[in-house]
Amino acid sequence: MAKLTVQFVCTECGSAASRWLGRCPGCNAFGTLVEELAGAEGGGGARPSAPVPLGEIETAESERIPTGVAELDRVLGGGLVPASLVLVGGEPGVGKSTLLLSALAAMSTSRRVLLVTGEESTAQVGLRAARLGGAEKVEILAETELATVCATLEAERPEVCVVDSVQTLYASELGSAPGSVAQVREAAGRLLRVAKQAGVATILVGHVTKDGAVAGPRVLEHLVDCVLQFEGDRYREHRVLRATKNRFGSTNELGVFEMTGDGLVGVPDPSELFGTTHPGEVGAAVACTLEGTRPILLEVQALVAPTDLAMPRRVGTGVDPKRLAMIVAVLGRHAGLGLGGADVFVNVAGGVRIDEPGADLAVALAIASAARGVPVAEGLAAFGEIGLTGRLRPASQAERRLGECAKLRIAVVLAPEGTGGPGGLRVEPVETIRAAIAAALEGRAPRVAEPAQAAARSAA
Ligand SMILES: Nc1ncnc2c1ncn2[C@@H]1O[C@H](COP(=O)(O)OP(=O)(O)OP(=O)(O)O)[C@@H](O)[C@H]1O
Ligand SMILES: [Mg+2]
């Protein structure tokens, strides 16, 4: 086997140096050299290997492993794929260890599962296991030495393994400290090889940095098959799990959990929780957004407050700040709602983040309601993308959104022209943002559901 040597490689241009340098001699970039193991793959004496035609490969559509946590399965695209590598990232204390221990506990009833813990002692994990219950058969290994973890996995070959966390693993050949970019990359690379060769579905827990990237600037995301982000406010009980990359399923699926004393409980119907406004409240509107394939109703709240600042603030929690600035500008230009002398704050219920433009209309309605001091009509939900001309554009998968509205006793849905509606639900097509505000605030929409609709809904 080739001798292992350490070299420093530039992440920008790839040139190598034998010692660390602040500035890359190849491309003159600063601070881009990272430590790497050279010669680990026996380069010199390698033999050629025979390629195989794709058609001859056995595609026994390998069955997915249900994790026993329905919301996690949904985000993974129907369960864990055997021998895949999944990265779960999240802020400290958001509940990563809790979620994965409950999944391991559920899976341990029918298969062999292993928990590698580098962060907590076995006694600490035992405490959590006692709180969650049902984890008696989960095997646990307290180890941080990467070579030992890999050797154990190859020898024991459990079906599922959780490594909590990848930042604590340590390859002694590398000089840098655990958690450094070089160590984390080496750990993920070797675990990937073991996962594929030994057929272990491996879940890595990764810490996120201050700007939200897992383990430094996205070093692991390319390596792994699936990246899950566990989000939500540590101080509130709701947590949202979403896939930002998935080689075996759709991304942007959303799982919602509630943190309780007995662990994380899935919330199968988040619209019930997040999609209601208080009747008559100024500055609140219900958005019907789509997360992956899952429609979800979310309350959007806005506050418009006069300001003396030369540059008024536009602060959005859960909405994209650029999108918010655009909506405020369109409201000013095309709906006669000048907000130049006011701060605008927008907040989305439940710590959920809205990524899709279909929620534009509800954000605009909440702001308009706050600015005018008039509540949005009761029982009204809205979706649609706002264009720069003030015209509304149809949003994708309108039927799914309308279906969710019908399920949640919404009386009227404001939607762009050309959106067809299912029976039992009144869809009010609007062409422009100005027309939408008029319909929502000035009462063209009924304040309460009409009797005919109420009857249709109770029949549905
Ligand atoms: N007895 C309890 N009752 C209710 N919630 C609890 C209880 N014990 C812990 N929690 C919740 O669990 C959270 C910690 O979960 P967990 O240890 O799984 O987080 P983590 O993401 O693994 O954190 P870290 O990054 O530090 O490892 C706490 O923030 C708290 O909200
Ligand atoms: Mg943890």
Decide: residue 364, CB within 10 A, 0-12 exposed, 13-18 middle, 19+ buried.
buried
**Cβ(350)–Cβ(273) under 8 Å?**
yes
What ligand has the least distance to the C-alpha of 164?
A: 2
- Among protein residues, the one with the nearest Cα to ligand 1's atom 15 is 95
Type and span of the H or E element at 297: strand 294-306
**Span from the CA of 213 to the centroid of ligand 1 (angstroms):** 21
Instruction: Answer yes or no: pTM beyond 0.85.
Output: no
Which residues, including other chains, have CB under 8 Å from residue 16's CB and lie 6 or more apart? 7, 8, 9, 10, 38
CA neighbor of 344 nearest in space, from 310, 281, 390, 301: 301
Nearest CA to ligand 1 atom 7: 261
CA of 169 to the centre of ligand 2 (A): 14
The ligand 1 atom nearest the CA atom of 99: 18
- Give 240 Cα–ligand 1 centroid separation in angstroms: 15
Which residue minimizes the CA distance to atom 4 of ligand 1? 261
- Which atom of ligand 1 approaches the CA of 128 most closely? 8
Q: Please, which residues bridge with residue 35 across strands? A: 8
Residue type, 60: A
Q: Would you write out the chain's pLDDT as a tens digit for each of its 460 residues?
A: 456 678 888 877 778 888 888 888 888 888 888 887 775 554 466 788 888 888 887 766 668 899 999 999 989 988 999 999 999 998 888 899 999 999 999 999 999 999 999 989 999 999 999 999 889 999 999 999 999 999 999 999 999 999 998 989 989 888 778 877 788 888 999 999 999 999 999 999 988 765 555 555 467 888 899 999 888 765 677 888 988 889 988 776 788 898 888 888 998 888 888 888 888 899 999 999 987 778 889 999 999 999 999 999 999 988 999 999 999 999 999 999 989 999 999 999 877 788 889 999 999 999 999 999 999 998 899 999 999 999 999 888 888 888 888 888 788 899 998 776 655 678 888 999 999 999 998 764 443 334 444 444 444 4
Tokens representing 385? 């993308």
End-to-end Cα, the chain, rounded Å: 70
